[in-house]
Structure 1
């Protein structure tokens, strides 16, 4: 394990910080003398055993998929690098696929960070490095010509730098009011193709609701709605299609109603009174396990279906929260509840958070957080983006990250002073991102070899689904 590094909370001046850690030092890739497979095994410990091969099966698709699922490796490596000394709430898994659209409670469409499983106090530049490197890894994956990766990194850093300079001169209240809406994006984007994609996204979001999801995921049986098994992605923990072994403690406790009710009531206590009142108008129908994402595969994640008196649905997602990979390698205050850590970090960093975002403990003491499933959520379709559109997206991501950091920390001025106005930080980020993308490719080859040798087992969704076909 890498040695934990920390500094004070950043009270020293940014000019002093730059003298102690010059911006050029951010080109260092960190502590890469390690076994990436061992780190993945550490990160997979405690997950549903039969789903871990699916996690690896999704990661083996490409170096970019591997990068998405291996936040622990980069956190380990970054712990071996100098840091700016400005410690704030960070996302912790700030790759480009974790930026997306969603609706506010007022139904306005925003673009923002949308995954906070790894959020924790840390150096602000860790987020910027993970984001910048993700664009280089993605550019290579998409087979863009040489030089595109560097241009994307410069777009990210330049946008972050410019926006942070603006936030440094903005009152903290106005920063908290600031929202990057899709309508605002249409005004900011310069490429017609990028604006078309935003417009199509707005149209697509309108159909991504619980009501549209209900017939796709469930059936009406005997006067109630039951979620349809579709293993390995969706199954009932105690049902015939379960991927949870008989030895797992969940299986032994799956029929304990009292524990489930207690967990839901604890979740309700973390919501504002008006949210609790709103949820009282819904009746529970069914709960099932739902596999999500890449890095989260194997962690305990469920969907809970409720309907109101008009039979209109509400899907809640219940997602396990474990120790942040950032906290594993960067010393921070002790955490009493990992679900609360995720929720409070999300509320700090997002411009607006889900109406039903809260946390609870499961019947066996595991930590969870809860939110709506899918509600008008959009993910970037990077495979369909050419280099110019990807460049526009890079600039938008830099803007989103600057707003999130400025809002969460109230320290835009310190970050802005550290970055400065020149190209020094961008130059360092280009060197870091290119070198770290090389490292990701080397780690990916080690990972693939481990899967081929049998050290790790990797299975695709298709392969696992075939196990359940008659």
Structure 2
């Protein structure tokens, strides 16, 4: 027998066979385009390793427009494919203003920064710093405090990434929301960075980041006004916004859809969070009994179109005056994943990562921050509260813009300073950051240059986005047809 007759079929023969089969059936293979996180991780590593590597921010013209389009589709692939309620609403909101576009496209923004600032000190970065991601929220004792309040994108990375995102946000918001002139916008940004430096120097001297909190009695005037505005009795808050006529469950309206059939299921999730965080029955959460569950519609900017549930927990009085509302929001991958320079610190995955961020960034924060699996998806949990509130940027005067920016810088400094207390860092981070900011005037000028360039790029990207939205670019995900 000839030797060649015993040879296995080559891969070329196999490919030819598959090709003939496709030709016979008339069906061409189609694949969903996959996440490009790992591809960008390799690009970030190359940027650190080699002195000259082109990054997405260097693209112009049609190449940039295609990058903007594909990145936004990738970031919203699940919502687009599932025809999620709120997905089209989010795209319309992104088109409405440059500030909304900036807030809702964190992945696009950070891909332009990939690999940047590799030499800078590492902290647990917030990831999505802007003027409206600071606010009033409950601490572990249900006392209102001011601080960073959005942990969806937390990841260990250079401290400068948060400052760069923050100053860009202040430049855009001060113009669109505050109608501030260019000279004053840049003074506001400088106050933000000065607040960060002042806070970092304070914690370097006094080592109080583990316990310090910004409360109504020790905060600057602009923040005290926020506390005053946020005051609301729990009973009025519950009855005005959430409870039905019986007080036993959620009302049904455009924002809330009761799903009372899932009470026992969500009771299990509440029990899981209580076990994670050591919450015992008998406190202000009563017996941790779930009274009702609803779907919450149309909330947030970056999270529009992602599933969100509210749980009504019966309070100790059992008269619908002191009930608690616990929110479960679908967790997504951090926009910084694969982009920050490589480091040895791990924040966790999705819901666990977000809960880790809250525990690190806030001293004695919300005890209901946790992580559960719902319908095989990762969700984070937190308490809604009558005094949970964000700044109304329209109400800020020229002077209060600067004061508010300074207070936000201080709050961010505390969040970063806690990376070596509650986080994974095993060395004091404050002295390293203070040294890395020297000479300070040069450091601020570099940040301002970054911010100016980022705003110009965002304006072009926003124009591309609006053109593509009108032409149906975001009605379906992109597929690979070869």
TM interval, short-chain normalised = 0.7 to 0.9
Match of residue 349, structure 1, among 341, 358, 361: 361
SS in 1 for 2:123: strand
Q: Write the distance in 2 (CA, Å) between the matches of 1:438 and 1:83.
A: 24
Q: Write the distance in 1 (CA, Å) between the matches of 2:154 and 2:116.
A: 19
Contact 1:31 1:80 in 2 (8 A): no
Q: Which residue of 2 aligns with 1:366?
A: 377
Alignment of 1:286-301 (within 5 A): 286-290=292-296, 291-301=298-308
Cα distance, 1:161–1:200 mapped onto 2, change above 3 Å: closer
Deviation (angstroms), 1:426? 0.2
Alignment of 1:25-174 (within 5 A): 31-33=57-59, 34=64, 35-47=67-79, 49-142=84-177, 143-171=179-207, 174=208
SS in 2 for 1:299: coil
Deviation (angstroms), 1:414? 0.7
SS in 2 for 1:323: coil
SS in 2 for 1:72: helix
Deviation (angstroms), 1:236? 4.1
When the two chains are superposed, the root-mean-square deviation of aligned CA atoms in Å is 3.0
Q: Write the distance in 1 (CA, Å) between the matches of 2:44 and 2:158.
A: 9
Contact 1:267 1:360 in 2 (8 A): yes
SS in 2 for 1:396: helix
Larger relative contact order (C-alpha < 8 A, sep ≥ 6)?
A: 1
Contact 1:210 1:374 in 2 (8 A): no
SS in 2 for 1:220: coil
Contact 1:3 1:329 in 2 (8 A): yes
Q: Write the distance in 2 (CA, Å) between the matches of 1:67 and 1:82.
A: 21
SS in 2 for 1:179: coil
Q: Which residue of 2 aligns with 1:234?
A: 256
Cα distance, 1:295–1:124 mapped onto 2, change above 3 Å: same
Q: Write the distance in 1 (CA, Å) between the matches of 2:231 and 2:122.
A: 38
Contact 1:357 1:371 in 2 (8 A): yes
Contact 1:153 1:429 in 2 (8 A): no
Q: State the Cα deviation string for residues 231-285 of structure 1 (Å, max 9, x = none).
A: 2x332469xxxxxxxxxxxxxxxx6676544433322321214368664524322
Cα distance, 1:383–1:275 mapped onto 2, change above 3 Å: farther
Q: State the Cα deviation string for residues 387-439 of structure 1 (Å, max 9, x = none).
A: 22111111111111111111123401111111125301100011011111111
Contact 1:275 1:356 in 2 (8 A): no
Deviation (angstroms), 1:208? 6.0
Q: Write the distance in 1 (CA, Å) between the matches of 2:292 and 2:263.
A: 12
Deviation (angstroms), 1:4? 4.5
Q: What is the TM-score normalised by the length of structure 1?
A: 0.79
Alignment of 1:386 with 2:365, yes or no, is no
Q: What is the TM-score normalised by the length of structure 2?
A: 0.78
Cα distance, 1:303–1:114 mapped onto 2, change above 3 Å: same
Contact 1:335 1:341 in 2 (8 A): yes
SS in 2 for 1:84: coil
Deviation (angstroms), 1:372? 1.0
Moved more, 204-213 or 350-359: 204-213
Q: Which has the larger radius of gyration?
A: 2
Q: Which residue of 2 aligns with 1:216?
A: 241
Contact 2:44 2:338 in 1 (8 A): no
SS in 2 for 1:329: coil
Q: Which residue of 2 aligns with 1:422?
A: 440
Where in structure 2 are there 5+ consecutive unaligned residues? 1-35, 421-427, 477-482
Cα distance, 1:399–1:30 mapped onto 2, change above 3 Å: farther
SS in 2 for 1:184: coil
Q: Which residue of 2 aligns with 1:189?
A: none
Alignment of 1:452 with 2:470, yes or no, is yes
Deviation (angstroms), 1:450? 1.6
Where in structure 1 are there 5+ consecutive unaligned residues? 8-16, 21-27, 187-194, 239-254, 459-470
Contact 2:130 2:169 in 1 (8 A): yes
Cα distance, 1:349–1:29 mapped onto 2, change above 3 Å: farther
Q: Which residue of 2 aligns with 1:178?
A: 212
Cα distance, 1:73–1:137 mapped onto 2, change above 3 Å: same
Contact 1:132 1:433 in 2 (8 A): yes
Q: Write the distance in 1 (CA, Å) between the matches of 2:402 and 2:182.
A: 14
Q: Write the distance in 2 (CA, Å) between the matches of 1:299 and 1:32.
A: 31
Deviation (angstroms), 1:216? 2.1
